Structure 1
Amino acid sequence: MRRLDQLLSSLGYCSRREAMAFVKEGRVKQGGVVLKRSDQRVDSALITVDDLPLEAPEGLLAMLHKPVGYACTHSADEGPNIYELLPSHWPDRNPVVTSVGRLDKDTSGLLLMTDIGGLVHRFTSPKAEVEKVYLAELDRELDPQLVEIFAKGDLMLRGEEKPCLPAKLEIVSPKTARLTITEGRYHQVRRMFASQGWHVEKLHRERFGPHELGDLAEGEWRMIPVEQASR
Structure 2
Amino acid sequence: MRLVKLIANLGYGSRKEIQTAIKNGWVTDRDGNTLKATSQTPHEDILFDDEPLDPAPGMVLAMNKPLGYTCSTNDQGKLVYDLLPDRYRMRKPVLSTIGRLDKETSGLLLFTDDGTFLHKVISPKANVGKVYEVTLDRPMKGNETALFASGEMMLESEDKPLKPAMLEVLDDTHARVILHEGRYHQVRRMFAATGNHVTNLSRTQIGGLSLGCLEDGQWRMLDEADKARIFEG
TM-score range (shorter-chain normalised) is over 0.9
Displacement of 1:58 in angstroms is 3.7
141-150 or 91-100: bigger deviation:
141-150
Which residue in the other structure is 2:190 paired with?
Answer: 192
- Counterpart secondary structure, 1:63: strand
Query: 2:12 is matched with which residue?
Result: 13
Write the distance in 2 (CA, Å) between the matches of 1:43 and 1:163. 51
TM-superposed CA distance for 1:144, in Å, is 2.9
- Give the Cα–Cα distance (whole angstroms) in 2 for the partners of residues 137 and 23 of structure 1: 53
User: Which of the residues 155, 158, 161 maps onto 1:160?
Assistant: 158
Local SS of the residue matching 1:72: coil
C-alpha distance after superposition, 1:166-208 (max 9, x if no partner): 1110011110000000001001101111111111111111111
Q: Could you say what secondary structure the match of 1:89 adopts? A: helix
Match of 1:223 in 2: 221
How big is each residue's C-alpha offset from its partner over 1:142-185, in whole Å with a ceiling of 9 and x where there is no partner?
Answer: 13321111111111111222111111100111100000000010
- Identity over aligned residues, as a percent? 42
Question: Which runs of 5 or more residues in structure 1 are unaligned?
Answer: none
Matches within 5 A, 1:63-212: 63-77=62-76, 79-212=77-210
Structure 1 CA distance, aligned partners of 2:129 and 2:74? Answer: 28
1:87-113, Cα deviation, whole Å (9 max, x unpaired): 111001101211111111111111001
Counterpart residue number, 1:55: 54
Contact preservation (8 Å) 2:170, 2:176 = yes
Distance 1:56 1:189 in 2: 35
Q: Which amino acid is 1:188 matched to? A: Q
In structure 2, C-alpha distance between the alignment counterparts of 1:33 and 1:68, rounded to whole Å: 43
- Assess if the C-alpha contact under 8 Å between 1:70 and 1:80 holds in 2: yes
Going from structure 1 to structure 2, the CA distance change for 1:21 and 1:220 (only over 3 Å counts) comes to same
Cα displacement (A) at 1:31: 4.9
* Paired letter, 1:16: R
Aligned to 1:23: 22
The AA in structure 2 aligned to 1:11 is L
Partner SS for 2:86 = coil
User: Aligned with 1:214: secondary structure?
Assistant: coil
**Tell me, which stretches of 5 or more residues in structure 2 are unaligned?**
none
CA-based RMSD: 1.7
Q: Provide the aligned length of Structure 1 versus Structure 2.
A: 229
